[in-house]
Chains A and B, each alone.
Chain A
Amino acid sequence: MAPSVRTGARTGTGYGDAVTTGRNRAERSCAISGIGQSDVGRRLGRDPLELTLDACYGAIADAGLVPSAINGLSTYPGGMTGSKGFTGASAYEVIDAMRLEVDWFDSGIETSGQLGSVMKACMAVAAGMADHVLCFRSVWEGSAQGSGGRSSLTPGGGRNSRIYAGGFEQWWLPFGSAAPPVWFALYAQAHMDRYGTTADQLAQIALNARRNASRNPKAIYRDPMSLEDYYNSRLITTPLRLFDCDVPCDGATAVVVSRRELAADLAQPPIYIEAMGAAMHDRSNWDQLKDLARTVGADAAEQMWARTSLTPADVDVAQIYDGFSYLTMLWLEALQLCPVGESGPFVEGGTRIALDGVLPLNTAGGQLSAGRLHGYGFLHEACVQLRGEGGERQVAADPQVAVVAAGGGNTCGCLLLTTVAEV
């Protein structure tokens, strides 16, 4: 929104002239020069640092760089204790293990979703703090949670113990709203009540993911899934079933964000970051959103579209977060790929979002079937598709524009990627 000159107060919609005139668009200084991904599996039982380094060294080699060329590093979420595999390696661990000499580095979870780490890398490059920034996301939730580890949040003490909930947690944990499926089920029900979205429509996100996963050799679940199979999966919390929830896995993904002039001379055709969206104009408390059937991702998407002359109609392939199937539906609306409230009819029957549809969606199988690589899997797949390296799952029509969106709740971000540099 344009700020008032006098007070800085927002006076209308749209973004300031820094955007519309192209000044300060950090992402235009950058390109993705390399991508890398470790082995991915349900429970690999391997050192998560090894997986992380596999992805990082892979991305650097893919770009045609050597590790000593990397002078920046950015990751989500960085080091955490007691994370049950939510983070596979911290920024410090990777910097030390690779003996990097960095001019800038950053990690953190309070940002615009997993892609926030990539946006920060762009800003660091544009600000002249680094030339080649290694960005990664690493998870080992499959191994760390073990068999059934995700099924219960019981602390060590069992039935007679107590959990003390502080911070934001105090507002939902005492009521058994104990995990993200519950929070997103609440939103999904709100959408169904408001717009008449149906379970059959929700199922299409999971079915589409599985169809595409069958063409991805690294996907975790590749066997065909029917609508009947979907309905036979157990209810977790209405309206979400097991197959509406992504699958914890082990794996790491990395990309190198390089200064655009440097990327042009490297080993791969650069993938350009046409626009990025980080905005959050809503409450950061999950149950206080202005509208429970909307995502703050809509704010990020509005910002992203304001930073480019491309429009939603230009998107050739969409890689959209599916921590829960409903989130993908919500992001389709947020990204303006379909009208608000109409994601249900849009995905109905699954033809529009199929590999040969008007908007191929989650072509690697998403997190629902290919594993919860937590946002970066979508970024990786977008680059694969734009480079035409999708193999059996390659979108046929030579895609040139991909949208990537990740996150949900109060942590959402999106990127528009292209094969052609706009000035």
Chain B
Amino acid sequence: MSERQSSERQSSEQGSDEQGGFAVVPELSDRNRHFWQGGAKGELVFLRCQDCGSYLHPPIPICPHDQSKNVQPEAVSGRATVATYTINHHPWLPGFETPYVVAIVEIAEQTGLRLTTNLINCPLEDIHSGMAVQAVFHHIEDPNGDVWLPLFEPVPEPAPVTGTP
């Protein structure tokens, strides 16, 4: 396999699926629409308690910490770290070229706020727990409402600092 095949998912991240191609599409509801459609604006969006500031995932209507119903969608930075990962070799589903990387990432804004996702644009041998990643969105057109899956790719390493300003 080439590095490219193995590290990109469906060769179409940040693009859109061809109409009618196989996909697993989240079933949209009033409770989750902000999450799955936030990517339309390039945003990773979670429900957040407006009283205590906790992000709530999966989305729930009442904050479990203070029982506030004042929970609103709010964008986060999209920065995250890889909590753990697996390089999957098994063809569970069509449309997933193996191997592909499933990861659990921890969102920068809150300890323990995690997503299961795919790591893309990353050579397999470079993947490690703790690596810094950022969200990119995979657009799926669907007659029931388009969705944008948040996938993650490595944050480019900052250029080495040389000299003094």
Contacts and interface: CB of A to CB of B under 8 A. Distances in A.
Interface of A: 151-154, 158-166, 168, 170-179, 181-182, 185-187, 189-190, 193, 234-240, 285, 287-288, 290, 292
A176 B22 contact: no
Contact of A238 (B22, B86, B93, B116): B86
Nearest to B118: A175
B91 interface: yes
A162 B104 CA distance: 24
A141 B2 CA distance: 36
A285 B58 contact: yes
Q: How large is the interface on B (under 10, 10 to 19, 20 to 34, 35 or more residues)?
A: 35 or more
A235 to B, nearest CB: 5
Contacts of A154: 93-94
A398 to B, nearest CB: 42
A187 B29 CA distance: 30
A176 B90 CA distance: 10
A178 to B, nearest CB: 4
A159 B114 contact: no
Contacts of B89: 234-238
B86 A186 contact: yes
Given A189-B85, A287-B104, A288-B112, A171 B58 contact: yes
Interface string B79-114: 000011111111111111000101110000000101
A171 B25 contact: no
A162 B84 CA distance: 28
Contact of A237 (B58, B86, B118): B86
B24 interface: yes
Nearest to B57: A288
B27 A153 contact: no
Given A153-B92, A287-B104, A175 B21 contact: no
List of 10 A-B pairs having minimum Cβ-Cβ separation, nearest first? A178-B92, A166-B27, A185-B86, A190-B84, A237-B88, A170-B26, A176-B96, A174-B24, A172-B116, A238-B87
Interface in B113-158: 114-118, 129, 142, 144, 147, 149, 151
B11 interface: no
B140 to A, nearest CB: 8
B5 interface: no
Given A161-B22, A176-B100, A234-B89, A171 B95 contact: no
A179 B84 CA distance: 17
B117 A175 contact: yes
30 contacts: A152-B91, A152-B92, A153-B92, A153-B93, A154-B93, A158-B22, A162-B22, A163-B23, A164-B24, A168-B58, A171-B116, A172-B116, A173-B24, A174-B147, A176-B93, A176-B100, A176-B118, A178-B93, A182-B102, A185-B102, A186-B84, A189-B84, A236-B89, A236-B90, A237-B87, A237-B88, A237-B89, A238-B89, A239-B86, A292-B83
Nearest to A181: B90
B20 interface: yes
B108 to A, nearest CB: 16
Contacts of A235: 87, 89
A236 B115 CA distance: 22
Contacts of A173: 24
A237 B102 contact: yes
Nearest to B19: A160
Contact of A163 (B25, B85, B90, B100): B25
A314 B91 CA distance: 44
A178 B83 CA distance: 19
Contacts of A182: 86, 88, 92, 102
Contacts of A159: 21-22, 94-95
